[in-house]
Every structure is written in C-alpha cells, then in structure tokens.
Amino acid sequence: VKPQIAAIIPAAGSGLRLAADDGATGPPKALRRLAGETLLRHAVHCIEHVADEIVVAAPSELVAQITAELAPIRKPVRVVVGGSTRQESVRRALGQVKGTAAFVLVHDAARPMVPPDVVDRVLAALTAGAVAVVPAVPVSDSLRQVGEEGASTALDRHRVRAVQTPQGFRAATLRAAHEQAPDEQATDDASLVERLGEPVTLVEGDLRGFKITRAIDLVVAESLARRQR
C-alpha cells in the first residue's frame, strides 16, 4: 500500500517585516495576493498533488477566513490556530495529523513558488529511507558571522546552504522531535530532528523556493507567477 502523506502549512506568521516595508497596508502575509491568488493558496498548490491530508496553522483571528479560502481544495484540509512561534504552530498542526500518516511534509505558506520537482525529490529521498529531508540551495553572497561589539569573521560560503521547504520527515521522527524540543528557538523542523541525533539528508532545492519576507520578494514572486501562467 502507498504510504500516507500529510502536509503541514505553517501560515500563522504576522509578516512584520513585510508590513514594515509597506507601511502595514496589506492583509496578514498568508493572505497577500500574488497574481490573483493568496500566498497560502499558492503554497497549498505546491504540495497538494502529493498530500493525502493538509493541516494549516492560521492566526487565530483568521481561522474562519482561511477555512473558507481553502474550501475548494480537493483534499481533506484542517485549519488549526497557530502559536506565537513557527515551531509552536507546527507542533499544533502536527497534533491534528492522522495517526496513519507515514510521512509529513512541512511547507511554509510564505514559499509560494516551489516547483513540483523539489517536492518530488524530497519524497523520493523519504521513500528511499531518509528520516529527514531538506531542500537546500547554495548562497550567492559572501558571508560573515558576527560576534560581540561589531567583531566578525568570514564564513566559507561554499560550505553553507540556504534551507528551504517543504522539508520531509518520517512522521514518528517529527513527532518525537517536537515532543522533546526544549525551547521555541528552531526556525525549521530539520534542526529539531537533528537534536535527536537523527541524520538530515539534503536534496537540491530551487531558487524559486525562496521565502516571501520583504516587499522586494513579492515583486520577484509576482513576476514569476505571471510568467508561469
């Protein structure tokens, strides 16, 4: 039998950096529009072809609106109230994932343009036996690690990768990672799994998997989305 795949979409962020850029005129980030569709709808489209169920973590005041927004999706969708950090939002959503799920994909609502082959690479690695899978891309900028009082040292950019989503996990491993996480500091799920001593497998990401964080990201994504049509 085909292993069941659940998708979690953390969409409960307030988009403070985006709001700061454009004077807080827009709606919360997940409901910003790109080529006529919300970021959340785009993000769901990225993973719905492989998901047997989808759980979205939404800001509490938007649960009804987001439930309505996702009503046309032809997969079982649940919307839960997110937390004050991404990690807590994912943990709450994970609590609603069916016990029968073998694999869980966690995909940021803020990454609307991830092409299907990235999702396929993540799943292929899981099917081949990986415990935790992360799509990653090289970084273009030279990097410096900053310390106290303005001190900084160069990092070799060839030895770092920028991490994207969807990240894929064996369901039991992701549950254990979130149960044992000591704090709320993790900015992604693979770093929690790594704390369990489990290996993290990298697969090739895609430049289109970038995260919408600042206003300039929306400009780039809008252009990509229009070209895609």
Q: How far apart are CA 103 and CA 117, in angstroms?
A: 17
Which lies closer to ligand C5P via its Cβ, residue 10 or residue 135?
A: 10
- At closest approach, how far in Å is the CB of 17 from ligand C5P? 8
- At closest approach, how far in Å is the CB of 148 from ligand C5P? 25
Which lies closer to ligand C5P via its Cβ, residue 82 or residue 203?
A: 82
Print the SS3 string covering the chain.
Answer: CCCEEEEEEECCCCCHHHHHHHCCCCCCHHHCEECCEEHHHHHHHHHCCCCCEEEEEECHHHHHHHHHHCCCCCCCEEEEECCCCHHHHHHHHHCCCCCCEEEEEECCCCCCCCCHHHHHHHHHHHHCCCCEEEEEEECCCCEEEECHHHCEEEECHHHCEEECCCEEEEHHHHHHHHHHCCCCCCCCCHHHHHHCCCCEEEEECCHHHCCCCCHHHHHHHHHHHHHHC
Q: Which residue's CB comes closest to ligand C5P? A: 13
Which lies closer to ligand C5P via its Cβ, residue 4 or residue 85?
A: 85
Q: How far apart are CA 55 and CA 107, in angstroms?
A: 10
Which lies closer to ligand C5P via its Cβ, residue 89 or residue 173?
A: 89
Which lies closer to ligand C5P via its Cβ, residue 16 or residue 127?
A: 16
Which lies closer to ligand C5P via its Cβ, residue 82 or residue 168?
A: 82
Binding site for ligand C5P (CB under 6 A): 10-13, 29-30, 57, 82-86, 89, 108-110, 187, 211, 213
- At closest approach, how far in Å is the CB of 146 from ligand C5P? 20
- At closest approach, how far in Å is the CB of 127 from ligand C5P? 26
Measured CA angle at 82 (ends 77, 85), to 5 deg: 140
- At closest approach, how far in Å is the CB of 129 from ligand C5P? 28
State the pairing for strand pair 101-106/152-155. Answer: unpaired
Lookup: tokens for 183? 């704090």
Which lies closer to ligand C5P via its Cβ, residue 22 or residue 100?
A: 22
